[in-house]
């Protein structure tokens, strides 16, 4: 007699050298077809979003057993649930019977389980099938309930309260996926006792752009602020964007495995743009404690002009305290979900000022968010033109600025006005297209330079 | 006809004990606010065992579709379409044991 095998299926990666070659690192160029072609998008789902560790939730969003939040990993709808033993698990939001979604809401508290609306199949918060409609299957002697679950992600891990998951059973542990980039992450996730929390819910909006434009913007493009954000900055600061020439020598970009941060080391430049002098003062007041905790360089990063992307699609802005995921929705659209992040230890009124400041700047109606959105939309849409999308794009600012510095892990370049991190981001993208295994992926060019590992 | 169900001490407070008596379909018992309740273990909706569920806010909750059956009253919350009320059998306590009138209980 035939018997269904309901074990999870995690799709295998392949190798697409012809897509990998769309990144022309030797010429500092990127082929525009990566922002437009369906074939590329399809390969990204398989090579990147079905393999990489992806951000799914912050621990503070689901504090108690049964608390859940819905998100997507690539285009896969996922439910992230706090278990009774307080661990966190994540499942595909799709019934293994006919594939209907089992959870219709964005988030909830203390769920008892998830019931499919189609035939009444009912799953516990642990994903196990607890029962069906209760009439027909229970009289079917060959029906094996124990074999049936909501499909779990292959791995799920938390780093300082930030929860990531992957559909690849072979993916290395999360901290290996970050590599020594955790050095920079810790400046934001761990600059005060108790770590971070998300406050005030999420904002959510659609932008008609390819997901890589915002990801590369946050990985290392502070250059655009001079032009794009002049008017918005003037409205809040009373003047244009000024990166401060006296910081030019301190500013740098750093990248590991395609993750990247650019920072001006100016202590408060980003925080200042939220428009509340009290917040600027708060960051200054905490500076000595942060130096104690993180050392001078990282303490200067906390509120500074800077931006960061964790490959592939999680980004945040130090000092402005907005966190966001650029969820791909086809090659020409993203769903942008963003949150305000604060330190748990901050006084309530300081948290509230950050929340308001984020809403005024980086929300669907924020002055900076709107500045960016239109640029990314047209950077995508122009590629509708067949001839247009065959023209290469220029990523050559700051060639030859590599400046390895003791104590700064990864590929480090002088100056934050630089395409260095964006080149690394696309190099990583190319590696994901080319390699079908993690051994090659973690030994590829974007890996931290060898001599550093020996030094640490 | 009163049948001996179990020792009073065996009935858990706030949780549900499953009891098998020959001649009857499985039964369930629970203690709530000092009072013992005896009822069919099988959810009136379908085939699930109520003892796999739990008691919350004075109601027995079925673990499959989360129907909630009032113990002190006949209120049903989250009632699946067509789901009858939960029958509670008349209970007597005698000599440290629980007895219930099972004349309306389903025979095995």
Nearest to A134 among B48, B52, B66 (CB): B48
On whether any CB of chain B is under 8 Å from the CB of A119, the answer is no
Judge if A77 and A225 occupy the same domain: no
Please report, to the nearest 10 degrees, the dihedral formed by the alpha carbons of residues A367, A369, A372, A374 taken in order: -90
Dig out the tokens for A288 from the structure.
Answer: 């000595």
Last residue of a domain, one of A167, A201, A232: A167
Judge if A448 and A335 occupy the same domain: yes
Judge if A288 and A347 occupy the same domain: yes
Residue of A nearest to B42 (CA): A134
* Cα gap A242→A236, rounded to integer Å: 13
For B7-22, how does the pLDDT look when each residue is reduced to its tens digit (9 = 90+)? 999 999 989 999 999 9
Judge if A260 and A132 occupy the same domain: no
- Using left for φ > 0, alpha for ψ between -120 and 50, and beta otherwise, residue A151 falls in beta
Burial code of A374-404, b = ≥16 C-beta within 10 A, e = fewer? ebbbebbbebeeeeebeeebebebbeebeee
Res A452: pLDDT: 64
Residues of chain B with Cβ-Cβ distance to A112 below 8 Å are 61, 63, 66
Tell me which of A110, A134, A136 to substitute to probe the interface with B (most B C-beta atoms closer than 10 Å). A134
Judge if A436 and A412 occupy the same domain: yes
Separation in Å, CA A323 to CA A207, A282, A372, A452, B46: 16, 20, 15, 29, 46
Residue A233: CATH number of its domain: 3.90.380.10
Confirm whether A23 is domain-assigned: no
Give residue for tokens 């931006």: A307
Please, what is the Cα angle at A279 between A278 and A282, to 5 degrees? 90
Dig out the tokens for A93 from the structure.
Answer: 């939001």
Separation in Å, CA B47 to CA A12, B16, B52, B53, B107: 40, 16, 12, 13, 15
Distance from CA of A135 to the nearest CA of B (A): 6
Q: What SS3 state is found at A315? A: strand
On whether any CB of chain B is under 8 Å from the CB of A113, the answer is yes
Residue A98 belongs to what domain range?
53-167
Confirm whether A22 is domain-assigned: no
The answer to whether A74 and A46 are in contact (CB under 8 A) is no
Q: What SS3 state is found at A339? A: strand
Judge if A105 and A154 occupy the same domain: yes
The answer to whether B30 and B38 are in contact (CB under 8 A) is no
Confirm whether A373 is domain-assigned: yes
The answer to whether B20 and B26 are in contact (CB under 8 A) is yes
* Cα gap A41→A331, rounded to integer Å: 6
Residues of chain A with Cβ-Cβ distance to B47 below 8 Å are 131, 134-135, 138-139
Max Cα separation, chain B? 42
- Kind and range of the H or E run holding A147: none
Judge if A367 and A304 occupy the same domain: yes
Last residue of a domain, one of A167, A194, A214: A167
Confirm whether A11 is domain-assigned: no
Question: What stretches of chain B adopt beta strand conformation (E)?
Answer: 2-7, 17-19, 27-32, 35-40, 54-56, 59-61, 68-70, 76-77, 91-94, 97-101
For strand B76-77 and strand A162-166, is the pairing parallel, antiparallel, or unpaired? Answer: unpaired
* Cα gap B46→B86, rounded to integer Å: 12
Separation in Å, CA B97 to CA B7, B11, B41, B103: 4, 10, 19, 19
- Kind and range of the H or E run holding A324: strand A322-328
**Helices and strands per DSSP (H, E), number in chain A:** 15, 21
- Along the 456 residues of chain A, how does pLDDT read in single tens digits? 788 999 999 999 999 999 999 999 999 999 999 999 999 999 999 999 999 999 999 999 999 999 999 999 999 999 999 999 999 999 999 999 999 999 999 999 999 999 999 999 999 999 999 988 777 887 888 888 888 999 999 999 999 999 999 999 999 999 999 999 999 999 999 999 999 999 999 999 999 999 999 999 999 999 999 899 988 888 877 777 666 666 677 899 999 999 999 999 999 999 999 999 999 999 999 999 999 999 999 999 999 999 999 999 999 999 999 999 999 999 999 999 999 999 999 999 999 999 999 999 999 989 899 899 999 999 999 999 999 999 999 999 999 999 988 899 999 999 999 999 999 999 999 999 999 999 999 999 999 997 665 444
On whether any CB of chain B is under 8 Å from the CB of A130, the answer is yes
Judge if A142 and A274 occupy the same domain: no
Judge if A138 and A218 occupy the same domain: no
Confirm whether A361 is domain-assigned: yes
Residue A100: CATH number of its domain: 2.102.10.10
Distance spanning both ends of chain A, measured CA to CA:
59
Give residue for tokens 């330190």: A343
The answer to whether A58 and A197 are in contact (CB under 8 A) is yes
Domain count, chain A: 2
**B94 Cβ contact partners less than 8 Å away, ≥ 6 residues apart:** none
**B26 Cβ contact partners less than 8 Å away, ≥ 6 residues apart:** B18, B19, B20, B40, B41, B42, B49, B51
Nearest to B63 among A130, A132, A138 (CB): A130
Give which of A77, A54, A42 is closest to A151, Cα–Cα. A77
Distance from CA of B52 to the nearest CA of A (A): 10
Note whether B63 contacts A133, CB cutoff 8 Å. Answer: no
What sign results for the dihedral spanned by CA atoms B50, B51, B55, B59? positive
The answer to whether B78 and B65 are in contact (CB under 8 A) is yes
Confirm whether A13 is domain-assigned: no
Tell me which of B44, B45, B64 to substitute to probe the interface with A (most A C-beta atoms closer than 10 Å). B64
On whether any CB of chain B is under 8 Å from the CB of A115, the answer is yes
User: HSE on the CB side for B14, CA within 13 Å?
Assistant: 2
* Cα gap A123→A96, rounded to integer Å: 10
Judge if A397 and A272 occupy the same domain: yes
**B89 Cβ contact partners less than 8 Å away, ≥ 6 residues apart:** B27, B38, B39, B100, B101, B102, B104, B105
Judge if A141 and A195 occupy the same domain: no
- Kind and range of the H or E run holding A157: strand A155-159
What sign results for the dihedral spanned by CA atoms A118, A335, A235, A250? positive
Last residue of a domain, one of A167, A196, A231: A167
For B58-106, how does the pLDDT look when each residue is reduced to its tens digit (9 = 90+)? 999 999 999 999 999 999 999 998 899 999 999 999 999 999 999 988 8
Tell me which of A130, A138, A140, A146 to substitute to probe the interface with B (most B C-beta atoms closer than 10 Å). A130
DSSP string, A73-107: ETTEEEEEEE-TTS-EEEEESS-TTT---S--SSE
Separation in Å, CA A291 to CA A298, A346, B106: 8, 17, 74
Residues of chain A with Cβ-Cβ distance to B48 below 8 Å are 130-131, 134
Confirm whether A34 is domain-assigned: no
Confirm whether A370 is domain-assigned: yes
- pTM (2 decimals)? 0.93
Res A249: pLDDT: 78
Judge if A285 and A200 occupy the same domain: yes
**A115 Cβ contact partners less than 8 Å away, ≥ 6 residues apart:** A102, A121, A122, A123, B65, B66
Dig out the tokens for A192 from the structure.
Answer: 């005060």
């Amino acid at each position: 007699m035939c018997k269904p095998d309901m074990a999870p299926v995690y799709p295998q990666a392949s190798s697409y050298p012809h897509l990998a070659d769309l990144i022309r690192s030797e010429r500092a160029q990127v082929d525009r077809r990566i922002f437009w072609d369906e074939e590329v998008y399809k390969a990204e789902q398989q090579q990147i979003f079905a393999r990489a560790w992806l951000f799914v939730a912050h621990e503070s969003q689901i504090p108690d057993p049964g608390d859940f939040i819905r998100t997507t990993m690539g285009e896969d709808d996922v439910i992230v649930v706090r278990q009774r033993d307080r661990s966190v698990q994540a499942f595909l939001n799709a019934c293994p019977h006919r594939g209907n979604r089992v959870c219709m809401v964005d988030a909830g508290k203390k769920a008892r389980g998830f019931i499919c609306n189609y035939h009444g199949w009912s799953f516990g918060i642990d994903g196990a099938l607890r029962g069906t409609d209760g009439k027909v299957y229970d009289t079917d002697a060959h029906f094996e309930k124990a074999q049936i679950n909501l499909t779990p992600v292959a791995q799920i891990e938390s780093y300082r309260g930030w929860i990531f998951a992957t559909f690849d059973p072979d993916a290395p542990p999360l901290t290996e996926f970050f590599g020594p980039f955790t050095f920079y992450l810790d400046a934001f996730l761990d600059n005060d006792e108790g770590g971070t929390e998300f406050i005030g819910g999420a904002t959510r909006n659609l932008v008609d752009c390819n997901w890589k434009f915002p990801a590369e913007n946050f990985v290392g493009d502070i250059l655009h602020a001079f032009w794009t954000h002049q008017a918005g900055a003037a409205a809040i600061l009373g003047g244009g964007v000024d990166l401060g020439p006296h910081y030019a020598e301190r500013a740098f970009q750093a990248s590991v495995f395609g993750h990247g941060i650019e920072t001006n080391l100016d202590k408060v430049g980003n925080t200042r743009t939220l428009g509340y002098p009290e917040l600027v003062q708060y960051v200054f007041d905490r500076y000595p404690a942060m130096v104690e905790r993180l050392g001078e360089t990282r303490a200067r990063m906390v509120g500074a002009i800077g931006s960061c992307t964790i490959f592939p699609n999680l980004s945040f802005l130090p000092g402005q305290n907005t966190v966001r995921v650029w969820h791909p929705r086809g090659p020409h659209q993203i769903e942008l979900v963003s949150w305000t992040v604060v330190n748990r230890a901050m006084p309530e009124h300081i948290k509230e000022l950050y929340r308001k400041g984020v809403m005024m700047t980086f929300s669907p109606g924020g002055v900076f968010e709107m500045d960016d959105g239109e640029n990314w939309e047209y950077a995508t849409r122009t590629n509708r033109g067949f001839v247009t999308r065959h023209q290469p794009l220029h990523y050559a600012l700051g060639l030859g600025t590599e400046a390895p510095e003791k104590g700064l892990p990864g590929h480090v370049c002088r100056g934050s006005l630089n395409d260095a991190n964006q080149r690394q981001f696309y190099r990583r993208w190319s590696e994901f297209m080319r390699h079908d295994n993690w051994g090659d992926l973690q030994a590829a060019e974007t890996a931290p330079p060898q001599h550093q590992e020996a030094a640490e | 006809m009163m049948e001996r169900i179990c020792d009073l001490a065996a009935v858990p407070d706030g949780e549900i004990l499953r009891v098998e008596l020959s001649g009857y379909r499985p039964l369930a018992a629970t203690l709530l606010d000092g009072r013992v309740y005896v009822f069919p273990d099988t959810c009136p909706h379908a085939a699930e065992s109520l003892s796999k569920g739990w008691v919350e806010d004075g109601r027995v909750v079925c673990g499959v579709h989360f129907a909630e059956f009032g113990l002190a009253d006949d209120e049903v919350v989250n009632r699946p379409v067509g789901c009858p009320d939960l029958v509670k059998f008349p209970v007597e306590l005698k000599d440290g044991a629980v007895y219930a009138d099972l004349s309306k209980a389903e025979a095995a």
